[in-house]
Structure 1
Amino acid sequence: MNDDLEDRKPIKPPERNHPDDKVRSFIEAVAGEVPLGGAVVKLAGELIPTQAQKARTDWEGAISERTNEHSERLDQHAQMLAPTTTLVGPSLDLAVALARAPSDGMAGRGLTIDDLCKLLPEVDPKEIEKAAFDLNALGLTGIQRAFGGHWSLRLKQKFYEQLDHQVMGWESTTELDARTLANLLLEDEERERTSALHAASGWEKRRFNPAFQFLLNIIPEGRASREIQPDYPSSSICLLDEDKALLRRFIAAR
């Protein structure tokens, strides 16, 4: 980590009026009075740069390298904000079918290949299996293997965040829904009980739970109850003043 910090130090420009520059200027001035002296000094300057010239060259190279690195990071950031992966064919059909299937908006029970085939009875089972592993490769689902070559598929939070606003017709994203829940939380402390927050939202679990999980990912660890229950990602949360300030900032960052 220390090496990384060293690499991130500001790049200082080369020193101006370096002693080498003054010496070179003096020599050039004297050489100008001697026939062919200027040409010799010019040639020497091209072949044997001063320390100051070397410093400038190194500085320009470092600036170019840092600029290129910064551009690459911006490209990577843009890639994260606007993924270019496009689902087509059976992969798209399976993703839409999974999103619209009855669900509580959480990982749910594992779906077998037979379950997936029931969602798309007109599609070849081999194509459905390929599509399932395509979604897994994109991080939208998780596949767990069992003995005998069997496996089951569960939806991940990323699935809801990337698919719901495109296929569910809610005219909202998971993030915007999370902001709505944050507002409801700040209005009434009683809504720190998840069932009360759910009731205040007026949404079905399929829409509520992904947004609530998005909110839990913002709140510092340790604020959410770890009680095991089947309805929500957490049965309740306990917000401190600093958590409420964090939620206000989240709401404002539209």
Structure 2
Amino acid sequence: MELSIPVPTTPDGRVYRYSPNENAQPRHFVLGQATRPCQISDAMRARMKLEPGSPQTVCPYSGIVADDDEFTHPDDREAAIEIAKHAAFADMEEQVRGMLEGLGRRQPRNSMLKIEVDTKRNPRPRPRFYRTDLLRELECDHCGRDYGVYAIGLFCPGCGAPNLRLHFAREVDLVDAQVQLADALDPDLEELAYRLLGNAHEDVLTAFEATLKTLYLFGRVTAFPGVDMPRVGNAFQNVERGQKLFAELSLDPYAMLDDDELAAMKLNIQKRHVIGHNLGVVDAKFAQLSDEAGIGETVHLVAEDIRLFARTAQKVVDGLDGWLGGVAIPPRERAASVNEEAEMETTPAAGMGLSELAYRLGAWLADNSERGLPYPIDGDAVTAAFADTNARDLQDAVAELETDGYITARSMLNTKLPLMRYRVELFATFDPLTRGTDPTLDAVTLAGLALEFESGVNVADLHAKSGWDHRRFNPALSVLVTRIDDRRVSKSGDGQYPTRMFALAATDRVELKRFIERHSRRR
């Protein structure tokens, strides 16, 4: 006998799905019915991973394709077993009840033995619902599939077409609704209207930042499988830092913007910082970017400007959605203005989104590392070097570097500064600015040298081949080994190098060759 149990549904009729990819957090999503379009164009079909109606599903978070059964939630399987057990016991109870009822009807009236049958039945197991938090409901504009995700979904689970632009378009709709609500308030509620507009403006950047971060991490996993993820922090709250991360994927997310749009994007990002962290009061940094208000005044918020900010962000997301679907984004050719060149030369901290003090601290740390290793930082030496700096300001500068992933820091009682440790990201970022060497490009050179080894790579021999001192060699080696499977990198060290030995399997050799190819044009 074969028993078929229908999959439990949500109260609104959707089916719970659960990605088989354990790294595709939050894994949960729901599927509804599909209203198929009358015609699917060749351009739309080219973006799909599956033919609509196929007995397979696409994970909306990671894009993997698997049979429908593999997306069944483990709890659903257990619930199906409970339902089957309930059905089997119900059948047996019904049979026994019928037998006993027959005996009860046939027994003599004066019998001392009385048979009574309990007519109560055990209730059927109730369906289980796993998530009650906010669901983002979408309908794919390619295959018509109705579905919902609990985070940012990259792909339609029904056909696999990129749906990133649809997801962000929903954010734009919500922002527009907030702006309309603020516009409709009475003039005597001006302060409340300003607060609503500020929230709407901040929501644009929050959604935009989360979208870029999600896409970058997806692209990073795809391009560098098995490699540990870098710490992103709030990098996508800054145009230049976001471009630097996406450069690892040979992609400029802002390539579709013209100069005016890119300038407006930078201004709005900085405006969000003023609203969120300075109660809307213009500071010196924002005053340099904009002539709309002076220092100490309240930053202007105009409804149409917020809508324009949202549309500009949508334009970026639309281009990235096309990239997900296999459409290359053309490189952006921009000639920096005289003012931009001067700003880059005089204030590199601004380009990195750091305060001047945090930048000075980062540069000092890079210059005062003897071997370029991720070792503890001498807090007393830092305090002495910055003796003329307010202790609280110095602590904040340390926190900036820690937040952006350049160092690690752990607070301790009775200490002015936390316990700090170098991270390779500090050398990779500050060495090109302060020492004139680039650990990433140096890692390309080391990759070529490592490929010359027949078997395992002895790091001391690799060092000798490079001809560099320890300070230049070690950061480049740290960058290089992130491209190699961690299982083939020795964990031993003697204070000379971050590792003593590593092996290269075929997959590692392919990765190093592609690493060289990706960065060769930067030379």
Q: What TM-score does the superposition give when structure 1 sets the normalisation length?
A: 0.68
149-158 or 209-218, which deviates more: 149-158
**Matching residue within 109, 117, 134 for 2:400:** 134
Corresponding position of 1:209: 474
Amino acid at match of 2:449: L
Whether the aligned pair in 2 keeps the contact of 1:140 and 1:156 (CA below 8 Å) is: yes
Corresponding position of 1:50: none
Cα separation, 2, equivalents of 1:191 and 1:238: 4
Task: Select the structure with the greater relative contact order (CA < 8 A; seq sep ≥ 6).
Answer: 1
Corresponding position of 1:162: 429
Local SS of the residue matching 1:143: strand
Equivalent residues in 2 for 1:55-70, closer than 5 Å:
59=144, 66-69=164-167
Amino acid at match of 2:435: M
Equivalent residues in 2 for 1:1-254, closer than 5 Å:
1-2=18-19, 13-15=36-38, 59=144, 66-69=164-167, 72=208, 75-76=212-213, 79=236, 80-82=242-244, 85-112=352-379, 114-149=380-415, 151-170=418-437, 173-189=438-454, 192-254=457-519
Whether the aligned pair in 2 keeps the contact of 1:160 and 1:210 (CA below 8 Å) is: yes
Corresponding position of 2:124: none
Local SS of the residue matching 2:488: coil
Cα separation, 1, equivalents of 2:489 and 2:457: 9
Give the deviation of 1:217 after TM superposition: 0.9
Q: What TM-score does the superposition give when structure 2 sets the normalisation length?
A: 0.36
Show structure 1 runs of 5+ residues with no match.
17-54
CA RMSD of aligned residues (A): 3.6
Give the deviation of 1:191 after TM superposition: 7.8
Cα separation, 2, equivalents of 1:157 and 1:126: 26
Cα separation, 2, equivalents of 1:87 and 1:176: 24
**Which is richer in helix?**
1
Q: Deviations over 1:171-213 (max 9, x none)?
A: xx32211111000111234881111111111222222111111
Whether the aligned pair in 2 keeps the contact of 1:174 and 1:214 (CA below 8 Å) is: yes
Corresponding position of 2:279: none
Corresponding position of 2:342: none
Cα separation, 2, equivalents of 1:229 and 1:192: 17
Whether the aligned pair in 2 keeps the contact of 1:185 and 1:191 (CA below 8 Å) is: no
Amino acid at match of 2:463: H
Give the deviation of 1:147 after TM superposition: 4.2
Cα separation, 1, equivalents of 2:35 and 2:515: 37
Give the deviation of 1:81 after TM superposition: 3.7
Equivalenced residues, count: 211
